[in-house]
Structure 1
């Protein structure tokens, strides 16, 4: 089957009331929606995925392609580890690139190195491996170790190519004998299941009926269930990111994180020296905190670098990019890698954010469940969250990937 088949050919005008179109309808073909669809298909369910666009253009293609497993803590760590297992299994099934090269955190001060030492001591041997300055430079492709104290390798982190992975997953789901991915098909209304009956999803191309529907529309929850979005305090987080030309001679296997990354991810923030690190960055580089920076980068299979990012929060994403912010991020990344970088693309990322929790899972009506990752770790949590959500429907539903 062709995942890009003409929209007019992919959905009948209506479905007979006497039959179900699928066991599960998933609204949204981003990574969270496709994670739910993929695990449901592996479990033997009939699945239809719909998306209002002609291809994935949201947060799932605008990120670093980094599953930041190691830097999660508590419940999020458990979800991330489950997600890691499914990521690798689905990479084999859907034939997309996934790297187990981990991530390297560069430490340029004694305080930064202390946070890494504390995290390493708190984890199982081998998960957070401390590196000296020379080894840190070697793993991050720096020409020399000048200006750094050392670093740490985060073993369990994964990398995928955000520009191609979601499309590969969608193609796999659509080609599956029990799957269908229907682009340019918007959800415009829902009717709940009553007395164990079917749910109805009204779309711009007709009606779909299924046992359940999972709605994975990211920050657009407020368009469908504004009261729920208000309760969970969902805002839009806007990011400034860029793609640079492939630096000559750079073969960067791991993701590269910095002090600002340590200030954003919970496992680092849980460490005793995290508050001291915050004060140090505030005293030395307050402009990075002003834009809520996470200075990091990943290298795509074609050699280009994804660099970023800043964070700004509001109910509506303001579309205008600030050139001073872009320049600050690029200059800082150039210092981190010890290389000149040439920007070839810029873009605005947008994801759902909430101070209430890192994710939202809510059955809004019988048979209708809203799922949204309300933090910047959608790639990290996607499959693990899908495993939990599907298992709540039926404990034996999700088989081992």
Structure 2
């Protein structure tokens, strides 16, 4: 039997963030995952670190995540763009939402000094920045503090960097039970001062009563990688009016309610898909396009082709290109709950942690800093030096 200061169950970005925060504090760490490699929600996403659109606790964790991502880009060689985000407003009610957030945030930012959170753009400024079809924008905004990573490289790069620092990884190892001070797996037991359970939507496999109490379900989504044939590269991730209904800082504004009413009335089929029309461009020039959302205790593996057809149609319309050539399609799955986060301690020294609104890449490293800091400042035992 082996012992570590911290055992992390789950090797997604939230789990890796906890391993990083613990390793930064000089603690011994092992990460256990039943999969053979990183392949869940931390890979099947846009790579968009959308810090600015977060509100409340999510904004706090986003602010803590941003400098960690910048450090990882330097230390672990992760591909990262300090690109900001461009929001395209195609209707006056979308522009109204952007104006309200700009007014609310003002000139000071929790992310740094020198730039506000929201910089409003004219239609001409949006069309200068993006290769849109003519007349697509009535205005927009630049969110300068947002970042972009390559989701297919970021998690694997972080895991490799942690392994180089002495963090142990045990893949293809299923956890069958968690108790204070001990994790039982299919490859033996591990003693731990602290256990972090970061298994995203699979929390119901180890703690079904917590998942039921917190209303945590699975959210499935449809995404694509395409060759869109754009006349120029995207300088940053792109959000649209549909995105303004999804992120807390936008969605809670008075103008967002009016926007939602109009979009649902004008485009009922798209509203039924629970659409977030957004785009990021990978280093190879291909676009990640998405996404739709559907929820349940389980999600069907059978994806409706209509969702993909709508995503392709909207992409062609926005950028004024023929139907994009599909390179890949996939289904993402993540935990969906009533709140942005699950942060629970069902037993002493056992912490259940998840981002439960699909913002793990954006907030997960800051969430991990918060949890590990609270552990280190508490009376929970650390097995420092035991092997």
Shifted more, 64-73 versus 86-95: the winner is 86-95
Cα deviation 1:144-163 (Å, max 9, x = unaligned) = 54232011011111111111
Give the match for residue 71 of structure 1: 53
Deviation at 1:138, TM superposition (A): 2.3
Give the match for residue 134 of structure 1: 124
Aligned mates of 2:140, 2:280 — CA distance in 1:
17
Structure 1 outlier segments of 4+, above 4 Å:
none
Match of 2:155 among 136, 157, 166: 166
**1:112-127 equivalences in 2 (<5 Å):** 112-125=94-107, 126-127=116-117
Match of 1:367 among 349, 364, 372: 349
Contact conserved, 1:308 with 1:330, CA < 8 A, in 2? no
Give the match for residue 32 of structure 2: 50
Match of 1:276 among 258, 280, 304: 258
Superposition TM-score, scaled by structure 2 size:
0.92
State the SS of the aligned residue for 2:126: helix
Deviation at 1:391, TM superposition (A): 1.3
Give the match for residue 173 of structure 2: 185
Cα deviation 1:133-174 (Å, max 9, x = unaligned) = 1221222222x5423201101111111111111110111111
Match of 1:153 among 132, 139, 142: 142
Give the match for residue 343 of structure 1: 326
Give the match for residue 385 of structure 1: 367
Query: Is there any run of 5+ residues in structure 1 with no aligned partner, and where?
Result: 1-13, 16-20, 193-198
Contact conserved, 2:220 with 2:333, CA < 8 A, in 1? yes
Give the match for residue 95 of structure 1: 77
**1:1-400 equivalences in 2 (<5 Å):** 14-15=1-2, 21-125=3-107, 126-142=116-132, 144-177=133-166, 179-192=167-180, 199-245=181-227, 247-340=229-322, 341-355=324-338, 357-395=339-377
State the SS of the aligned residue for 2:357: coil
Deviation at 1:247, TM superposition (A): 2.6
Contact conserved, 2:228 with 2:321, CA < 8 A, in 1? no
Cα deviation 1:274-325 (Å, max 9, x = unaligned) = 1111111122212111110000010011111100000001100111110011
Shifted more, 125-134 versus 313-322: the winner is 125-134
Aligned mates of 1:181, 1:140 — CA distance in 2:
42
Deviation at 1:246, TM superposition (A): 5.8
Aligned mates of 2:159, 2:229 — CA distance in 1:
31
Deviation at 1:91, TM superposition (A): 1.9
State the SS of the aligned residue for 1:152: strand
Contact conserved, 2:136 with 2:318, CA < 8 A, in 1? no
Deviation at 1:113, TM superposition (A): 1.0
Deviation at 1:394, TM superposition (A): 2.0
State the SS of the aligned residue for 1:280: helix
Aligned mates of 1:338, 1:133 — CA distance in 2:
16
RMSD over equivalenced CA pairs, Å: 1.5
Aligned mates of 1:333, 1:246 — CA distance in 2:
8
State the SS of the aligned residue for 2:254: coil
Aligned mates of 1:155, 1:145 — CA distance in 2:
24
User: Aligned residues, how many?
Assistant: 370
Superposition TM-score, scaled by structure 1 size:
0.89
